[in-house]
Structure 1
Amino acid sequence: MSRFRRDERGNIAIIFTLALLPIITFVGSAIDYSMAVRAKAKLSASIDSALLAATGYTAMRGSTEDAKTAATDMFNGQMSAHHLASASLHIDISDSVSARTVTGSATAAVKTSFMSMLGYPNITVSASSSASASFPTYMDFYVLLDNSPSQGLGATTADMTTLQNATSDKCAFACHDTYTSSSKKTLQTNSYYDKAKKLGVTMRIDVVRSATQSLTDTATSSQIVSNQYRMAVYSMGSDCGSLGLTTVASLSSSMSSVKSSVSSLDLMTIPYSGYNNDMCTDFDGTMSAMNGVIPTQGDGSSSKPQKWLFFVSDGVADYSYPTTCSKTTVSGGRCQEPLNTATCDTLKARGVKIAVLYTTYLAITNNSWYTTYIAPWRSSIGDIMKSCASPGYYYEVDSSGSIGSALTALFQQAIASAHLTK
């Protein structure tokens, strides 16, 4: 016994034996923990997939119950693929006017191997996530196109020059679309409109018509869901003898139908040269009628679309405003002035958004009337048209620009910032 007490050989084996149990426990616990970490990652991936499945119903504004079912099915499928034990899942879905928000949490029990010997048969892991998606915003576009005689102006400087060279009075407007008979409306072969057609002159109205038709194609390709956008198109009247807001295409979600109807849009006709003292551009009356056509602003849901007015014009009124004219009146109370923006303000106060495309009122050389009555204030037209538009929704296009591109840009800008904030 005395020698045994003094003998120090083999002490490492004794120490190792004593340390073996905590070492095995530590290593085993680390293995169990790493399995739990991997399980948590799989749980997180599963709940992410579940919430994305729920927001997948947003585009069609599917019910919250359908969204929850989709989320649960996706989660269970993912968990099965990961070979994890059944887990508890909790999903909350809340909808606002503009978006759906989905939040979720889940827990799962991971069976242990080594730690179970210490009284811990499971490790509980949990994960949470959230997702949101915007609802598609439904929008109604009311497009008012100025087809008054001034839109018979040549679309480019070259077109204007061609028409001036072909007319005895050097007129750059193809606005004398007269008839030999007001009942049969037979075109005179010597009308300036007819001359422009024969010479291949492109008028402003031709470009506006084409641009509006292209706008229907843009609307179709931009939709997230069917019938998301509707469009109606109006003119200021087909004939100066019967001025007033005129429907070119009724409000419809069928853009192909609207496009087909717009093909009939043309320059306003006049019974004869100088008819009604050339007073054929009644902005005040047309805009007031437009205010009556556009219903109450909506929240962007399918049953209450947002309302937009798109206004395309050169911005010069020419009508009888004997008491309200902001410029000099001539015989018969004829008033040529920039747009009166009072109705624009009324529409915007109602929440209607207004996009304005100003087709620059070009300077007309060799024309004494223009020099006397328009030139002194022509430079102010753009600023006044801009004040009609909602902030940020104004474009000006002169003879070198593309009306089609500008209309498309306004449309894309409108749908990009579609959600109303109240």
Structure 2
Amino acid sequence: MIRTFCTLLRRLASERRGGVLMLFAISLVPMIFATGMGIDYARAVRLRTKLNAIADAAALAGVSQPMMNVVDDTQVRAAALAMFNGQSAGLEGLAAAPQITVVVTHPEGATSRAVAVTYTAGSTNMFASILNLRSIGIGGASTATATAAPNVDFYLALDTSPSMALATTTAGMTLMDTVLKCTFACHSNNMAAVSTSSFPNLIVDTTKFSINKKNYGTKTVGGFPATVIDANGTYIFDNKTTNVPARCNQGGKDLCVYNSNGTAVDSYWYALNQGVRMRVTDERAAIRDLMTLAMQYADQNKRRYHASLHTFDHKSNFKTLVTMPNPSAAANLTAVSNAADAIDLVTVNDLAGGGRPPNGESGTEYLFTSLESVLTQMGAIMPAKSGQGSDQPGDTPQAMMFLVTDGMSDENIGSGRTRSAMRDQQVAQCNAIKARGIRLAILYTEYTAESIKDDEPNQRALAQAAIPNIAPQLTKCASPGLLYTVKTDQSMSTALQALFAKAMVTARLTQ
């Protein structure tokens, strides 16, 4: 076949008759037009590529960070049109100004936006115009979508029950256990009585336990000289062997350190004195750091963030430290940061009976983590329905609840003490909150066996059995993906900031 084709070519090349030239002349014209139209088409393709890029830029202009703060769709369309017209003006090869359509929609509510840019145009022909084909029609489309960072109200609820006095570091646990024979700090208003029974080593003196003290002056108590050793007025008798009250060596116990009101200090005071990091003190730092981060987010996103701050333990001791302000309260996040110093461990009312709640309520001794109560209280404080957080007229901020807890339910519900992971009834309360459009984020300060090693054997067994179920139940309570666990020797502040960032993930731009 190849040999035959080559033979034909040689014969054609040697042909001298005029018919071949005529045929060639006749075919030359359409060959030129075909080549020219190919060039016209290639120019049209290049022009369409440029216009598609301009359409992309125009669509993205409508969902840029500054434009997401604009609520008027007319302004958004104008911005997209201006971008397209500005970049397409002067493009070579356009037969006429492109026809542009910009459609702005909100596919996922007021804080979302989709900008669709469609155009049609003509690419001027150089060769095909001889045949009265002045241009080649071209067109394209581009769509950009974004979700604006919403205005957000944060409702913060922090567990301050006795188990939150567990040290957050292994070194802190070791110190408390070695010196006081108790891994977490007890906070009692009658420690002198408790120390002679259940916790014999909880009352401390300055020598035996290396108390850190400064001289804040001297005072006389009952006729005996004492030195004030901290800013809270805690004092210690100057000599516990001579010239001191009998109570300073009560039953052979070291009872020489007292609060300013004359009650004996407890192991919570000792932990603070020694600088032991506890969950409750880490909550203070975590809230301060979180407010700093929230202020940064608000500034970057040009959004309004507000927060309220609450603590809970026993059902009768829910506290509001900072209320949710009106939208004009610009200093609110600073107020929450400052209020973090007021986050404190619940005081056990041993004066009214061993281990009772702060108000001395009888019949519910030792019940100090009421998840039912905090969900009820927070549910009443938060809005009936979360807004979308846009600046549209009538819209309200997006509501988020942050719960910091070790997740061990210790309350009196129905048949008696729960001492268990969050019950299904409380998960139902969580679901009811989420059904209102409120996102629920939980920082789980992992409950460990160290929290209960000094508890009564039967209660220790109940808690031990409940530990594997705590995280799964809290996961059900939280909004999808918004449970974060902080373990011993990890930073609660870092964990809370990570949870915050995760909760705010919708504040992003996507094309």
Do the structures match in fold with TM over 0.5? Answer: yes
Does 2:416 match 1:325? yes
Indicate the residue corresponding to 2:319 in structure 1: 246
Which of 97-106 and 186-195 deviates more? Answer: 186-195
Whole-angstrom CA distance in 1 between matches of 2:431 and 2:260: 40
Which of 43-52 and 227-236 deviates more? Answer: 227-236
Distance change in 2, residues 1:150/1:178 (3 Å): farther
Residue deviations 1:321-356 (CA, integer Å, cap 9, x gap)? 3854245xxxxxxxx555455344224224243333
Does 2:388 match 1:296? no
1:144-183 correspondence runs (5 A): 144-167=157-180, 170=182, 172-176=184-188
| AA matched with 2:97 | S
Indicate the residue corresponding to 1:103 in structure 2: 116
Indicate the residue corresponding to 1:77 in structure 2: 86
Whole-angstrom CA distance in 1 between matches of 2:452 and 2:40: 93
Residue deviations 1:82-117 (CA, integer Å, cap 9, x gap)? 243311111111113152222222122233232222
Indicate the residue corresponding to 2:214 in structure 1: none
Could you say what secondary structure the match of 1:411 adopts? Answer: helix
Whole-angstrom CA distance in 2 between matches of 1:104 and 1:225: 25
Which of 300, 312, 317 does residue 404 from structure 2 map onto?
312
Which of 185-194 and 297-306 deviates more? Answer: 185-194
Does 2:291 match 1:216? yes
1:10-409 correspondence runs (5 A): 13-56=21-64, 59-83=68-92, 84=94, 85-96=96-107, 97=109, 99-167=112-180, 170=182, 172-176=184-188, 186=261, 188=263, 190-223=265-298, 225-236=301-312, 243-251=316-324, 254-270=332-348, 277-279=355-357, 281=368, 283=370, 284-302=372-390, 303-317=395-409, 321=412, 323-327=414-418, 338-340=421-423, 342-350=425-433, 351=435, 352-364=438-450, 369-381=455-467, 383-384=469-470, 386-388=472-474, 389-390=477-478, 391-409=480-498
How far is 1:38 from its partner? 2.1
> Is contact 2:165–2:185 with CA below 8 Å preserved after alignment?
yes
| AA matched with 1:360 | E
Residue deviations 1:254-313 (CA, integer Å, cap 9, x gap)? 533322222332223356666573335251333321221121232533333333322222
| AA matched with 2:71 | G
Q: Which consecutive residues of structure 2, in runs of 5 or more, have no partner in the other structure?
A: 1-14, 192-220, 222-232, 234-258, 359-367
Indicate the residue corresponding to 1:333 in structure 2: none
How far is 1:70 from its partner? 0.8
| AA matched with 2:112 | A
> Is contact 1:174–1:196 with CA below 8 Å preserved after alignment?
no
Whole-angstrom CA distance in 2 between matches of 1:360 and 1:282: 15
Whole-angstrom CA distance in 1 between matches of 2:454 and 2:62: 68
Distance change in 2, residues 1:234/1:385 (3 Å): farther
Could you say what secondary structure the match of 1:304 adopts? Answer: coil
Indicate the residue corresponding to 2:11 in structure 1: none
| AA matched with 1:325 | G
| AA matched with 1:194 | W
Indicate the residue corresponding to 2:365 in structure 1: none
> Is contact 2:348–2:355 with CA below 8 Å preserved after alignment?
no
Could you say what secondary structure the match of 2:416 adopts? Answer: coil
Could you say what secondary structure the match of 1:247 adopts? Answer: strand
Whole-angstrom CA distance in 1 between matches of 2:344 and 2:118: 61
| AA matched with 1:70 | A
Whole-angstrom CA distance in 1 between matches of 2:490 and 2:406: 14
Which of 260-269 and 89-98 deviates more? Answer: 260-269
Q: TM-score, normalising length from structure 2?
A: 0.67
Whole-angstrom CA distance in 1 between matches of 2:312 and 2:498: 24
Could you say what secondary structure the match of 1:263 adopts? Answer: helix
Whole-angstrom CA distance in 2 between matches of 1:117 and 1:355: 70
Distance change in 2, residues 1:376/1:38 (3 Å): closer
| AA matched with 2:432 | A
How far is 1:197 from its partner? 2.3
| AA matched with 2:385 | Q
Whole-angstrom CA distance in 2 between matches of 1:316 and 1:105: 57
The RMSD of aligned alpha carbons is 3.6
Distance change in 2, residues 1:417/1:348 (3 Å): farther
Could you say what secondary structure the match of 2:461 adopts? Answer: helix
Whole-angstrom CA distance in 2 between matches of 1:185 and 1:342: 44
How far is 1:72 from its partner? 1.0
- The higher relative CO (CA closer than 8 Å, separation ≥ 6) is in 2
| AA matched with 1:342 | Q
Whole-angstrom CA distance in 1 between matches of 2:451 and 2:71: 61
- What number of residue pairs does the alignment pair up? 398
| AA matched with 2:173 | M
Whole-angstrom CA distance in 2 between matches of 1:363 and 1:178: 26
Whole-angstrom CA distance in 2 between matches of 1:279 and 1:30: 89
Distance change in 2, residues 1:366/1:212 (3 Å): closer
| AA matched with 1:106 | Y
Indicate the residue corresponding to 1:330 in structure 2: none
